[in-house]
């Protein structure tokens, strides 16, 4: 077990029931190496729920000196696409970078399981590229579809042992014969088929002699089992379809239950960790492996409760609907719970990790409060974000006793949490912009921003007093005329005066324009998909676009950099930005106790 370095902090998870099991196996020396896997189906983009699984599987690999294979669980040609494979790889790389990237199990492009000899028995194995192998070669994820040949061999072996048979029942009849949870099933009329006949039929299924669904290969287990998955489950079905990875090569495809356990075995997986709904499949997982007389140690399945975050949805089927029906701009819309959306919004991978690791691993199904995620984001960004001054809803301020045309360069710290971040200069002139929220004509008690006749400190600059409120014909405040205490500049004679409020500002003559996208939760209720149509709970105000005035240094804002617009929140540059057009996403607002106080009234 590796010792975590101090800066990894929360990146190393506390123990949980799965880690306890792994630790015991390590203590017993049960496996030569701990090997986990993350096996998404490439039928959609990865989301925050997957992040929990990724961090669990990679976390275990990194804590116990093991490896975690990234594997496409692609046994259903009808639903899977290469676009999803690419996005999955990119998202996983992003999430584990600088944390567990050295544990990421990939294989040389095109590699398939090799026939090997295990203790005198024929065997197949495909391990991750390592060392010199990995250095030069082009790598790719593992694919269950790369094992179709071996899986077929195992199917033949099962038939030969009398453990499987070809069944000619139609889909409807198969369902009828299966019975119900509280009613036993009945044997298929084809259950007694001889091994020789089944072998012949399977071979002809593979050769394409039969149409879709004409026949299936089934395990011969127990039609009366109280566990439905043991009632002669289907192992293979006929699908004449183009597969994103294997093309036209196959017209029979193994079912999840048959492919998954064998994929785990072929890759030498030791701990196959999945979500709770597969718990009832575990006896089948074990049955298949145990009935094949496999020479190497068998993998075992462990289940945990998936992450269910509040005020969003993590069903791939529903996310795809939002994308197709244009409720969002795409899979990577910053309001989406997808990893690509979260990344685009400006959330660092380290914050995602600290969140999903923090919620823990149990078998208790729970709804996770998004405040926990928000806290993780703020905690992370507070340490790393560069402070900048930007005004979201500008109102003009003229400093009447400051010389017109004079420009002062003021020093501003880049990050009070990090002295090494240094300082920058910001220009100050006679005409400024401040945020509309920072002025009130008739403020409530305890409002300590600007008011008529009141004083406020301009961050890094002067204390000003509001002399005059200028309005347009409609009565809207369009300008504030203020007098500055010219001795009160930071470091000046009266700078130490106790002024309750400090606000941000930008010099009108130097300000640069930016589009700022303000995001709110995508749904208005904690569990949008609990009942009825989840789309009726879509938040109509989940996006608000603002034209902001920013301090000039933001002109060179970098895509990978995180910013805190002081007193407002954390922001990151959006890929929609172009030369001369800045677009920022608000990652998350700062905690705002004043706003909360106002809300209460």
CA atoms within 13 A on the CB side of 457: 16
Q: 58, 439, 447, 505: which one contacts RNA (CB under 7 A)?
A: 447
Q: 460, 519, 534, 571: which one contacts RNA (CB under 7 A)?
A: 460
Interacting residues with RNA between 512 and 551 (CB under 7 A): none
* CA–CA distance, 293 with 295 (Å, rounded to integer): 6
Interacting residues with RNA between 264 and 303 (CB under 7 A): 276-281
Minimum CB separation of residue 579 from RNA in Å reads: 29
Q: Which helix (H) or strand (E) holds 195?
A: helix 195-206
C-beta separation of 258 from 288 below 8 A: yes
Minimum CB separation of residue 37 from RNA in Å reads: 12
* CA–CA distance, 90 with 96 (Å, rounded to integer): 10
Residue 593, Cβ neighbours under 10 Å: how many?
Answer: 8
C-beta separation of 242 from 77 below 8 A: yes
Minimum CB separation of residue 80 from RNA in Å reads: 8
Minimum CB separation of residue 329 from RNA in Å reads: 27
Minimum CB separation of residue 139 from RNA in Å reads: 22
C-alpha distances in Å from residue 1, one per residue of 4, 57, 95: 9, 15, 22
Task: Name residue 408's beta-bridge partners.
Answer: 428
Give how many residues touch RNA by CB under 7 A: 96
Q: 298, 305, 538, 583: which one contacts RNA (CB under 7 A)?
A: 305
C-beta separation of 518 from 545 below 8 A: yes
54 burial type by CB count under 10 A (0-12 exposed, 13-18 middle, 19+ buried): buried
Q: Give me the numbers of helices (H) and strands (E) for the chain, helices first please.
A: 14, 32
Which part of the chain contacts RNA (CB under 7 A), choosing from 243-251, 339-347, 353-361, 514-522?
A: 353-361
Binding mask 394-433 for RNA (x = CB under 7 A): ---------------------xxx----------------
C-beta separation of 534 from 327 below 8 A: no
Q: Which is nearer to RNA, 153 or 502 (CB)?
A: 502
Residue 203, Cβ neighbours under 10 Å: how many?
Answer: 13
Tokens found for residue 405: 């045309």
Which part of the chain contacts RNA (CB under 7 A), choosing from 100-108, 291-299, 464-472, 588-596?
A: 588-596
Q: Which is nearer to RNA, 108 or 191 (CB)?
A: 191
Interacting residues with RNA between 464 and 493 (CB under 7 A): 488-491
Minimum CB separation of residue 212 from RNA in Å reads: 6
C-alpha distances in Å from residue 340, one per residue of 201, 321, 343, 528: 45, 17, 5, 21
260 forms part of the interface with RNA (CB under 7 A): yes
Q: 138, 326, 600, 601: which one contacts RNA (CB under 7 A)?
A: 600
Minimum CB separation of residue 484 from RNA in Å reads: 12
Q: Which is nearer to RNA, 39 or 528 (CB)?
A: 39
Q: 93, 375, 393, 510: which one contacts RNA (CB under 7 A)?
A: 375
* CA–CA distance, 556 with 168 (Å, rounded to integer): 67
C-beta separation of 308 from 367 below 8 A: yes
Q: Which is nearer to RNA, 138 or 446 (CB)?
A: 446
601 forms part of the interface with RNA (CB under 7 A): no
121 forms part of the interface with RNA (CB under 7 A): no
Q: Which is nearer to RNA, 47 or 457 (CB)?
A: 457
Q: Which helix (H) or strand (E) holds 342?
A: helix 339-345
* CA–CA distance, 108 with 134 (Å, rounded to integer): 7
Q: 25, 393, 424, 567: which one contacts RNA (CB under 7 A)?
A: 567
Minimum CB separation of residue 572 from RNA in Å reads: 16
Binding mask 220-259 for RNA (x = CB under 7 A): ------xxxx----x--xxx-------------x-xx--x
Q: Which is nearer to RNA, 107 or 260 (CB)?
A: 260
C-alpha distances in Å from residue 464, one per residue of 21, 111, 271: 64, 70, 65
Q: 159, 292, 359, 516: which one contacts RNA (CB under 7 A)?
A: 359
Minimum CB separation of residue 297 from RNA in Å reads: 23
* CA–CA distance, 553 with 561 (Å, rounded to integer): 13
Minimum CB separation of residue 5 from RNA in Å reads: 21
* CA–CA distance, 173 with 199 (Å, rounded to integer): 22
365 forms part of the interface with RNA (CB under 7 A): yes
Q: 101, 369, 408, 467: which one contacts RNA (CB under 7 A)?
A: 369
C-beta separation of 548 from 390 below 8 A: yes
216 forms part of the interface with RNA (CB under 7 A): yes
Interacting residues with RNA between 142 and 201 (CB under 7 A): 169-171, 174-175, 178-182
Tokens found for residue 122: 């024929």
* CA–CA distance, 97 with 338 (Å, rounded to integer): 17
Q: Which is nearer to RNA, 120 or 181 (CB)?
A: 181
Interacting residues with RNA between 41 and 60 (CB under 7 A): 41
């Amino acid at each position: 077990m590796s010792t975590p370095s101090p800066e990894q902090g929360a990146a190393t998870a506390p123990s949980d029931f799965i880690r306890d099991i792994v630790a015991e196996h390590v203590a017993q020396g049960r496996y030569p190496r701990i090997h986990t896997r993350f096996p998404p189906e490439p039928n959609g983009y990865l989301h925050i729920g997957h992040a929990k699984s990724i961090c669990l599987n990679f976390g275990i690999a990194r804590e116990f000196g093991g490896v975690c294979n990234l594997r496409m669980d692609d046994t259903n040609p009808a639903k899977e696409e290469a676009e999803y494979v690419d996005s999955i790889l990119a998202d996983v790389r992003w999430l584990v970078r600088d944390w567990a990237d050295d544990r990421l199990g990939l294989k040389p492009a095109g590699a398939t399981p090799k026939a090997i000899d295990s203790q005198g028995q024929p065997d197949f194995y495909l391990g991750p590229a390592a060392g010199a192998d990995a250095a030069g070669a082009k790598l790719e994820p593992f694919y269950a579809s790369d094992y179709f040949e071996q899986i077929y061999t195992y199917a033949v072996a099962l038939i030969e042992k009398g453990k499987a048979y070809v069944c000619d029942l139609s889909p409807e009849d198969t369902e009828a014969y299966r019975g119900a949870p509280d009613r036993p099933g009945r044997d298929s009329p084809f259950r007694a088929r001889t091994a020789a006949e089944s072998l012949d039929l399977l071979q002809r299924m593979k050769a394409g002699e039969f149409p879709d669904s004409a026949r299936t290969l089934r395990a011969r287990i127990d039609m009366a089992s109280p566990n439905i998955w043991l009632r002669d489950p289907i192992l293979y079905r006929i699908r004449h379809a183009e597969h994103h990875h294997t093309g036209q090569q196959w017209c029979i495809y193994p079912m999840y239950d048959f492919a998954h356990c064998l994929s785990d075995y072929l890759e030498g997986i030791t701990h196959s960790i999945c979500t709770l709904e597969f718990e009832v499949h575990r006896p089948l997982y074990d049955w298949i492996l145990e009935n094949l007389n496999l020479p190497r140690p068998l993998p075992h399945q462990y289940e945990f409760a998936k992450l269910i975050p509040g005020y969003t949805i993590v069903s791939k089927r529903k996310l795809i609907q939002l994308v197709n029906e244009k409720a969002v701009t795409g899979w990577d819309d910053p309001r989406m719970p997808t990893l690509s959306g979260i990344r685009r919004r400006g959330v660092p991978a380290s914050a995602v990790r600290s969140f999903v690791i923090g919620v823990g691993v149990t078998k208790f199904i729970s709804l996770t409060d998004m405040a926990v995620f928000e806290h993780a984001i703020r905690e992370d960004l507070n340490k790393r974000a560069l402070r900048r001054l930007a005004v979201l809803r500008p109102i003009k301020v003229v400093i009447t006793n400051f010389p017109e045309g004079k420009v002062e360069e003021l020093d501003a710290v880049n990050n009070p949490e990090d002295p090494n971040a240094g300082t920058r200069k910001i220009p100050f002139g006679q005409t400024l912009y401040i945020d509309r929220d920072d002025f009130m004509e008739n403020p409530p008690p305890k409002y300590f921003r600007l008011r008529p006749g009141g004083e406020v400190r301009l961050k890094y600059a002067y204390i000003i007093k509001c002399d005059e409120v200028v309005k347009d014909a409609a009565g809207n405040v369009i300008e504030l005329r203020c007098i500055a205490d010219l001795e009160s500049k930071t470091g000046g004679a009266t700078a130490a005066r106790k002024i309750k409020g400090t606000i941000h500002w930008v010099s009108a003559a130097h300000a640069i324009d930016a589009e700022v996208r303000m995001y709110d939760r995508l749904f208005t209720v904690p569990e949008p998909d609990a009942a009825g149509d989840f789309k009726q709970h879509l938040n109509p105000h989940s996006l608000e676009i603002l034209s902001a005035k920013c301090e000039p240094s933001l002109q060179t804002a970098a895509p990978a950099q995180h910013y805190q617009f002081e007193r407002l929140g954390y922001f990151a540059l959006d890929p929609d930005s172009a030369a001369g057009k800045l677009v920022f996403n608000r990652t998350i607002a700062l905690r705002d106790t004043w706003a909360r106080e106002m809300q209460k009234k």
